[in-house]
């Protein structure tokens, strides 16, 4: 099951579009009905999570918490993606596209982290391929 939560209230986020995006990613990587949660949060929430789990006292744009295991209920838990919408809003001005595209980019980035990609081990190349495919659709 794919769950998309909008836990911030400043920016409008079309949750259905992001559920569809994650569904397309699940299909592309041939995952069988994984449990994924994507949460859109504010700066305060992402800063708190970054401090608690990564020991960094600063806001960031996206955090991924991979699980990659079957739970006692038999479901496969891929993990959670947390995106700071205010941070994405700031970043989108440095790009030739808007907030929704930045949020899509961060969703893909976070998803790839759940699959085990990381900085220095191919995430940039894979991210580029996936972004091109999403843009074509």
- Write out the residue range of the structural domain in which residue 36 sits: 2-136
Q: Which of 48-52, 84-88, 131-135 has the lowest mean pLDDT?
A: 131-135
Host H or E run for residue 78: strand 76-84
Give the mean model confidence (pLDDT) for residues 47-64.
94
Query: Using an 8 Å Cβ cutoff, are 24 and 104 in contact?
Result: no
Domains contained in the chain, number: 1
Q: What is the CATH number of the domain that holds 33?
A: 3.40.390.30
Q: Tokens at residue 70, please?
A: 């079957």
Q: What is the pLDDT of residues 76-124, one digit of tens each?
A: 999 999 999 999 999 988 777 789 989 998 999 999 889 887 766 556 6
């Amino acid at each position: 099951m794919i769950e998309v939560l909008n836990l911030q209230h400043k920016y409008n986020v079309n949750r259905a579009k992001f559920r569809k995006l994650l569904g397309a990613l699940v299909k592309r990587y041939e995952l069988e009905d994984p449990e994924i949660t994507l949460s859109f949060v504010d700066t305060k929430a992402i800063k708190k999570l970054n401090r608690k789990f990564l020991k960094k006292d600063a806001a960031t744009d996206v955090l991924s918490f991979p699980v990659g295991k079957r739970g006692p209920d038999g479901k496969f838990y891929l993990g959670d993606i947390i995106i700071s919408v205010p941070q994405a809003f700031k970043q989108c001005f440095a790009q030739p596209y808007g907030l929704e595209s930045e949020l899509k980019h961060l969703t893909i980035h976070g998803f790839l982290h759940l699959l085990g990609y990381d900085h220095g081990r191919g995430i940039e190349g894979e991210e580029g391929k996936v972004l091109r495919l999403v843009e074509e659709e």
